[in-house]
Structure 1
Amino acid sequence: MIIAVDFDGTIVEHAYPKIGKPIPFAVETLRMLHNDGHRLLLWTVREGKLLEDAIDYCEQNGIYFFAANANFPEENRENSPRKLMADLFIDDRNLGGLPDWGVIYKAVEATVRGENSFETIMSNTPIPEKKERKGFRGLFR
């Protein structure tokens, strides 16, 4: 599978533009996915030096991406589509948030077997309680 992975809030905690603390089991799981033969793409808002910092962090932790913010390493971002051609996106902004990395790994395995990975994720992820929203936006939720 081709798997696009976000950086901030997914591999490390949010501390942008700094590198946050590692999210438990993210590095280990991504190494396992790579070793299982999946192609990993880094898909992040980071560009320039901040992107280099993220790539360096990952490489220092044994995570190697096929490409960053692109489908292929040599892709010209000015002439290519903004959307990645990935089978799966791992991002903390997913519907329901970022599942535990163990659940993510099981969902990828289920997808490879042809099972419904969304059911796998949802059956293993507790549904968070609704937070009371205040302010203007809270009127519409």
Structure 2
Amino acid sequence: MKQQAQLELADVKRIAAAAESHATSHGWAVTIAIVDGGGHLLWLQRLDGAPPISAQIAPAKAHTAALGRRESKVYEDIINQGRTSFLSAPGVQGLLEGGVPILVDGQCIGAVGVSGVKSIEDAEIAKAGIAAL
């Protein structure tokens, strides 16, 4: 039987604080979502000035990254390269860059999704949060 690390509340708070710090240091108003390995929401934080829709998009990006075990940008690229049929995949949302999986010992234990600025900047914020682990 395999054993797998799990995110604890202290980990989630550390990720969120680092992501928030990175975003605010650049003046970026975003929403930060953190999910567990099954894509279940553990944290949602909408910074002042972040667009209301970002509170829907960030968790969707995180969910997609956790379930797919890869960055959500992979799916955006698939669609942009012409495989639009992927849009019909069941239960998959947030097919935009900005969802990044949290990998420990080769296992996905969760993901961070960010929305509110350019997608590449969203991913940068998510990665800054994960780096705090």
Q: Same fold (TM over 0.5)?
A: no
Name the one with the larger helix percent.
2
Name the one with the larger strand percent.
2
Q: Give the structure, 1 or 2, with the largest relative contact order (CA under 8 Å, sep 6 or more).
A: 2
**TM-score, normalization by structure 2:** 0.30
